[in-house]
């Protein structure tokens, strides 16, 4: 359903200065794969434990090898900790990430983690017999406004499907996977992705971002600096999420940063901090109740023995693009991924007829044009600047 809404760049809105990768997606980082399972079922009044269902699960696989046997350098950084990323302590202690990175809703976290064990045990008959266990990495936002979250509707089969079907290519965006029931900045939110390319002589490096967006209030929404949320403050205000329930402000945002830069765990933490810059630009205040986390990893090296060799040596003079550009890429990819989540997500009606409106595109274009961006316009229906999204 989000498939026919445009990505932000299709409107000629260009967040930041660095060029995107070919898909403008986290999957521009070679080997990174994304899989969604979207669950939408039922309508009308909430029957706790039964529905309506507006939820899902998303898997990000950090490389295309055996993700149990080979870990990548990685960290989990907390911008505001009122939320959960299981497995964060181990990732940070070892500076590495093993297994899939899973996104879902708050109350599904245990069931998704348990299903990751199902998957891991099926793939590694020695786990728990001859060696230590995986700590599953599962992050969450709460979709309780639209979804029967008490029902914990994501089942093991959904988790396995998200992992097994993960693929390259441009992932579906908007109200898909873990983003199905999410809202952000006063409008329908969900999943978005983007990337940036850094050139270093003949070499190029990529920083990609995938964001699960469920944060903020309408009055703070900024699109490329323009206070669109202020301008839309009265638009269908009777149903504004935060007008109906102020506690809905500041849910959460989970940001996944992938790169092929040869970054150490310390350096990835620095990148993750700059994802916060991108998040700030869109209107987040890292709200009180918001679980705002960044999971950052580098595919530059896979390590079977994860505590020893960390970073490929680069001779002096062979440096990758300056660190400030790394940071800029992380901020810009995050900003654009968040905007893509909001642009791609269509209006959704959920439990108790709660409505989360998709950002009104014509109004947004008009506001942007009033703010000195005359080139912004809706794409013609037939224009497709980017490859078709995967089916969700």
Which of positions 99-138 make contact with a copy of itself (CB under 8 A)? 106-107, 109-114, 117, 121, 125, 127-133, 135-136
- Whole-angstrom Cα distance, residue 338 to residue 193? 7
Length of the chain: 392
With CB under 8 A, what is the number of residues at the site for a copy of itself?
Answer: 97
User: To the nearest whole angstrom, how small is the minimum distance from the Cβ of residue 392 to a copy of itself?
Assistant: 24
Residue 381 binding a copy of itself, by CB under 8 A: no
Q: Catalytic residue among 25, 98, 290, 356, which? A: 290
89 binds a copy of itself (CB under 8 A): yes
Which residue among 93, 157, 203, 363 contacts a copy of itself (CB under 8 A)? 93
- How far apart CA 326 and CA 315 sit, in angstroms, is 19
Applying the rule CB under 8 A, the residues between 243 and 302 that interact with a copy of itself are 245, 247, 249-250, 264-267, 270, 273-274, 276-277, 280-281, 284-289, 291, 293
| Residue in 252, 284, 298, 356 annotated catalytic | 252
Per-residue binding letters, 302-341, with a copy of itself (x by CB under 8 A): --xx-xxxxxxxxxx--xx-xxx--xx--x----------
From 2, 292, 298, 356, the catalytic residue: 292
DSSP string, 73-107: EEEEEEEEESS-EETHHHHHHHTEE-S-EEEEEGG
118 noted as active-site residue: no
Report if residue 65 touches a copy of itself, rule: CB under 8 A: no
CB–CB of 62/26 below 8 Å? no
Nearer of residues 318 and 384 to a copy of itself, judged by Cβ: 318
Active site residue 125: no
Residue 2 known to be catalytic = no
Interface pick for a copy of itself out of 61, 79, 102, 272 (rule CB under 8 A): 79
- Determine the Cα–Cα distance for residues 226 and 210; give it in Å rounded to an integer: 23
Contacts of 23 (CB under 8 A, 6+ apart): 169, 170, 195, 386, 387
Nearer to a copy of itself, 145 or 187 (CB): 145
In the structure encoding, which two tokens stand for residue 43, read together?
């309508």
Is the bond leading into 296 cis (omega within 30 degrees of zero)? Answer: no
Question: Helix or strand or coil: residue 174?
Answer: strand
Is residue 377 a contact residue for a copy of itself (CB under 8 A)?
no
8 A C-beta contact, residue 112 and residue 77: no
Cβ neighbours of residue 146 under 8 Å, at least 6 residues apart?
52, 54, 181, 183, 348, 349, 350, 351, 354, 356
Question: Which residues does the annotation mark as catalytic?
Answer: 252, 290, 292
């Amino acid at each position: 359903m989000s498939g026919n809404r445009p990505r932000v760049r299709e409107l000629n809105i260009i967040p930041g200065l660095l060029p995107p990768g070919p898909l403008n997606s986290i999957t521009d980082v070679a080997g990174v794969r994304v899989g969604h399972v979207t669950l939408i079922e039922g309508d009308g009044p909430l029957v706790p434990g039964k529905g309506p269902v507006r939820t899902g699960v998303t898997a990000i696989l950090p490389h295309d090898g055996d993700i149990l046997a080979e870990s990548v350098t990685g960290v989990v950084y907390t911008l505001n900790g009122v939320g959960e990323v299981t497995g964060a302590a181990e990732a940070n202690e070892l500076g590495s990430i093993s297994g899939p990175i899973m996104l879902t809703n708050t109350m599904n976290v245990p069931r998704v983690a348990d299903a990751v064990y199902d998957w891991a045990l099926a793939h590694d008959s020695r786990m728990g017999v001859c060696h230590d266990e995986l700590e599953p990495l599962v992050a969450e936002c709460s979709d309780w406004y639209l979804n029967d979250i008490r029902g914990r509707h994501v089942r093991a089969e959904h988790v396995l499907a998200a992992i097994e079907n993960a693929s390259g290519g441009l992932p579906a965006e908007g109200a898909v996977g873990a983003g199905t029931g999410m809202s952000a900045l006063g409008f329908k939110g969900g999943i978005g992705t983007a990337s940036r390319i850094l050139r270093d002589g003949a070499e190029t490096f990529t920083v990609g971002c995938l964001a699960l967006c469920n944060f903020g209030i309408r009055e703070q929404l900024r699109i490329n600096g323009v206070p669109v949320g202020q301008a839309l403050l009265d638009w269908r205000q009777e149903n504004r999420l935060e007008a109906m329930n102020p506690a809905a402000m500041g849910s959460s945002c989970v940001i996944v940063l992938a790169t092929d830069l040869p970054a150490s765990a310390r350096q990835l933490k620095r990148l993750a901090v700059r994802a916060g810059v991108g998040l700030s630009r869109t209107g987040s205040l890292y709200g009180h109740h918001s679980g705002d986390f960044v999971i950052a990893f580098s595919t530059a090296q896979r390590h079977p023995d994860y505590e020893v060799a960390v970073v490929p040596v680069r001779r002096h003079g062979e440096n990758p693009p300056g660190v400030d550009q790394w940071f800029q890429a992380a901020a810009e990819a995050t900003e654009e991924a968040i905007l893509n989540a909001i642009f791609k997500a269509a209006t959704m009606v959920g439990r108790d007829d709660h409505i989360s409106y998709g950002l009104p595109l014509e109004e947004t274009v008009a506001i942007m044009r009033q703010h000195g961006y005359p080139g912004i316009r809706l794409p013609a229906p037939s224009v497709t600047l980017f490859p078709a999204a995967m089916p969700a």
